[in-house]
Chains A and B, each alone.
Chain A
Amino acid sequence: MSAAATNGNTLKVRYFDIDENPPKNYLNAESGLKSWLFTVDHKRIGLMYLASIALFFFVGGVLALVLRTELFTPAENLMNAETYNRIFTLHGAIMVFLFIIPSIPAALGNFLLPIMLGAKDVAFPRLNLASFWIYSIGALFTLASLAVNPIDTGWTFYTPYSVQTGSAVILMTFGVFIMGFSSILTGMNFIVTVHKMRAPGMTWGRLPLFIWAMYATSVIQVLATPVLAITLALLIMERTLGIGIFDPALGGDPVLYQHFFWFYSHPAVYIMIVPAFGVISELIGTFSRKTVFGYWAIAMSSLAIAFIGSLVWGHHMFVSGQSELSTVVFSFLTFFVGIPTGIKIFNWLATMHKGSIDMKTPMLYACIFLFLFTIGGVTGIMLGAISVNVQLHDTYYVVAHFHYVMMGGTVMAFLGGLHFWWPKMTGKMYSEFWGRISAVIIFIGFNLTFLPQFIMGSQGMPRRYYSYIEQFQTMHQLSTIGSYVLGIGFVIIAVYLAHSLWKGEKATSNPWGARTLDWMTSSPPLQHNFNYQPVVTNGAYDYHKPISDFTLGISDDVYHGNDHEGDIRKQSAETV
């Protein structure tokens, strides 16, 4: 009987055994298409997001392979320059707005955040469903632009070209404008949920680090996304009414557009990567069997990144005609944001130090993440240096840098998280053998694709060209072959994950022996996550305590609608 001495109420609580095979879980409690499309269950909404982003990742990935195939030789293999412009714009816009921004927060975050807090749902379940629908409507607009006249401006929609081009800029930007609100609503929902919906005893110091990361991400979403919305609204007005705010021909200022755009889009980079940090913290803690080293350092560095990351947008405009003073300040702040990021990396390494490391597929991805993200991060610091930036601006070096961060960082963490929580989400185990094989293939393919791009970039290969001078051909061909290897890796993942749904072994409630609340309910979870109100008396990474200490619950009237009938092992009084 532990009596955690904190200020709070003493509650009469009971130890429950986890019901491993409940007759009803969130997947089979209701059936039919309507029960999915109009569900307010955060877990089902998370799965619908997961399916959507998987689809868009596939589309964006195929576009990337098409681009790489065109670049196999300097000649016009598949398409002309104009088509190439449209394809790389679509690849960028789909990957950024439709895949990577909602990837971890909307898919994994929706599924996990309430369970990890010991809540039945997010604070505003209907708003959560609305945000999914808003995302879908935004995606339809984006796809409509594809059908009408695919846009060729690059995913940044820079003025004045985006005002002059004949392609469907309005449809595309309006789609992104709409999806922005989906992002804002998800962020608001998560912030309120973290503040108000925590289970008794779930203090701020016991929050899983994934929650801290999601919280920091949500803060950025709420802070920065409205600015993108107004920027795109002004851009649409510029095209329809010629309001002259961004268009130099009418007395406007195109650099102002860049400021507005990057005021959102640089913090958006952290919307993409900070959730990945959260996933990695969970993976490394679980598979090292050790309390995460520097809990508060990792938690606070997420917030520090959110704060400093909001003040570095000018480093995208070192050659755009920004004043020298602001260039120097932005360069300094860019270096500064490396500090909290470095703090995280070192704390993860310290967690692994002398841990009992279990190299399961998720942990393999976590290690790949550490390796690739560090390369991506350090090259980012180099690009933040003014003189280096002027030399490397708009070259393949930049392309390689952000693919190492976004794909080597976020996508690898996402894959790690997907494998980690796959048993929880689906109730089925994936094939560990094929999981490891594909992780290795992806690692090799990724480096083969993007390392040559660093070299090409440093030698002056500019980005966004459909052709090149012959000296770059070997590098381009290596890169193209690498992208095919990468593609094969993803196909393998798709095959064995799909296979596991039909033939996979049944997952237990806690196959990895983790300590967070998401593993204290059945796999797949019950419709309302828990049959009782969980009580938390331990930290999220208390691996030094036996697992039997981790299933406390209140069975009183505190939680109306309580219908738990499982076995109660013992009762105690806990101060929470």
Chain B
Amino acid sequence: MAQAQSLENAHVQHHFRSSDQQFSSSKLGMWLFLFTEVMFFGGLFVAYIIYRAWNPELFTMAATELSTVLGGINTVVLIGSSLTCALAIRAAQTNNQKMIVNYLLVTIVLATVFLVIKYFEYTAKFEVGILPGGMYTFEGIDHPKASVFFSIYYMMTGLHGIHVIIGIGLMIWLVVKARAGAYSSAYYTPVEITGLYWHLVDIIWIFLFPLMYLID
């Protein structure tokens, strides 16, 4: 009997008393981590608020340089990826091994599409001399602090982009494990907490998009 129990609970690390305890611990840990992420980005949002309060006209002028269409497409892409990510978790809960992998792959593709669009946005900016900080040479915006807006833009979207790349890495790892049949309704903690992370990456973008692109 003891052996049967240990097979069923093979995923439970020895210091946990039960599978439930392990699952809820992992989830709480992830929520706390997301909280630190909010504080991390929070510093940048505060910088944004302060510089916008000081230079409101700069922000409305500079925002016109950003492509609302590309930003809008990216928003839809990222929200879509959050949906497929949630569906992957649902597939794990219903023991649908094949669909876990498929939904994760779709999520990875959408995340990659986001990065590709972002790449074209960045390079278009670089070509006209909109570079971060001291390298800024663009003359289309008649404001002495124009470079500061784009510094904040690059810091925020760049940091967000790094988070997207990390998310893709995590999901590739999940796909490999899921292919080997590691996840089922009895154990899908990594899928669940990666999903939490991915939703946060999505939400940060949902704040970044209107703050950067949709200022009027």
| Distance to closest chain A CB from B83 (angstroms) | 28
Residues of A within 8 A of B145 (CB): 244, 251
Residues of B within 8 A of A120 (CB): 14-15
Task: State whether A558 and B17 are in contact (beta carbons under 8 Å apart), knowing that A227-B39, A256-B47 are contacts in the complex.
Answer: yes
With the chains together, A188 CA to B73 CA distance in Å?
36
A322–B157 Cα distance when bound, in Å, is: 30
In Å, the complex CA distance between A559 and B84 comes to 38
The yes or no answer to A302 lying at the interface (CB within 8 A) is: no
Q: Does B29 contact A (CB under 8 A)?
A: yes
The proximity string for B residues 25-69 relative to A, scoring 1 for CB distances below 8 Å and 0 otherwise, is: 100110011011101111110110011000000000000000000
Which residues of B sit under 8 angstroms from A224, Cβ to Cβ?
Answer: 39
Is A189 located at the chain interface by the 8 A CB criterion?
yes
Contact B155 A191 (CB under 8 A): no
CB pair A237 B50 closer than 8 Å: no
Complex CA–CA separation, A196 to B21 (angstroms): 7
How far does the alpha carbon of A222 sit from the alpha carbon of B31 in the complex, in Å? 11
Rounded to whole angstroms, the CA-CA distance of A123 and B29 in the bound complex is 9
Interface 0/1 of B132-155, CB less than 8 Å to A: 111100000000110110011011
Question: A340: CB under 8 A from chain B?
Answer: no
B185 beta carbon closer than 8 Å to chain A: no
A354 at interface, CB cutoff 8 A: no
Q: What's the minimum C-beta distance from A223 to chain B, rounded to whole angstroms? A: 6
Taking a contact as CB atoms under 8 Å apart, the answer to whether B135 and A241 are in contact is yes
Which of B2-10, B85-93, B106-114 sits within the interface?
B2-10
B24 part of interface (Cβ distance < 8 Å): yes
Q: Is the CB of A197 within 8 A of B25?
A: yes
Q: A243-B133, A244-B133, A256-B50 are in contact. Are A250 and B36 (CB under 8 A)?
A: no
Tell me the interface secondary structure of chain A in the complex. helix
In A239-264, the 8 Å CB interface with B consists of 241-245, 250-253, 256, 260
Bound-state CA distance A196–B25 (Å) is: 6
Are A241 and B9 closer than 8 Å at their CB atoms? no
Q: Which residues of the other chain, B, contact A123 by a CB distance below 8 angstroms?
A: 25, 29
Task: Flag A193-217 by CB within 8 Å of B: 1 or 0 each.
Answer: 0011100000000000000000000
- Contact at A192–B28, with CB atoms within 8 Å? yes
State A528–B147 Cα separation when bound (angstroms). 57
Q: How far is the CB of B132 from chain A (nearest CB, A)?
A: 5
Q: How far is the CA of A229 from the CA of B39 in the complex (A)?
A: 10
Residues of B within 8 A of A238 (CB): 133
Pair B43/A231 contact, Cβ less than 8 Å: yes
A-side contacts of B144, CB under 8 Å: 251
Contact A243 B28 (CB under 8 A): no
Nearest-neighbour CB distance to chain A for B149, whole angstroms, equals 10
- CB pair B148–A250 under 8 Å, yes or no, is yes
Closest CB in chain B relative to A447 CB, distance in Å: 39
A243 touches B155 (CB 8 A): yes
For A250, the chain B residues whose CB sits under 8 A away are 133-134, 147-148
In addition to A243-B151, A251-B145, 16 A-B residue pairs with Cβ atoms within 8 Å of each other are A121-B15, A188-B32, A192-B28, A196-B21, A196-B24, A197-B21, A222-B32, A226-B43, A231-B43, A242-B134, A243-B147, A244-B148, A250-B134, A251-B148, A533-B17, A557-B2
| The 10 A-B residue pairs with the shortest CB-CB distance in the complex, in nearest-first order | A242-B134, A230-B43, A243-B151, A241-B133, A120-B15, A226-B40, A226-B39, A243-B133, A121-B15, A242-B133
Give 16 CB contacts A-B under 8 Å.
Answer: A121-B15, A123-B25, A124-B29, A192-B29, A196-B25, A222-B32, A222-B35, A224-B39, A225-B36, A231-B43, A237-B151, A243-B133, A243-B148, A250-B148, A260-B46, A561-B14
Chain B interface residues toward A at CB < 8 A: 2, 5-6, 9, 12-17, 21, 24-25, 28-29, 32-33, 35-37, 39-44, 46-47, 50-51, 132-135, 144-145, 147-148, 151-152, 154-155
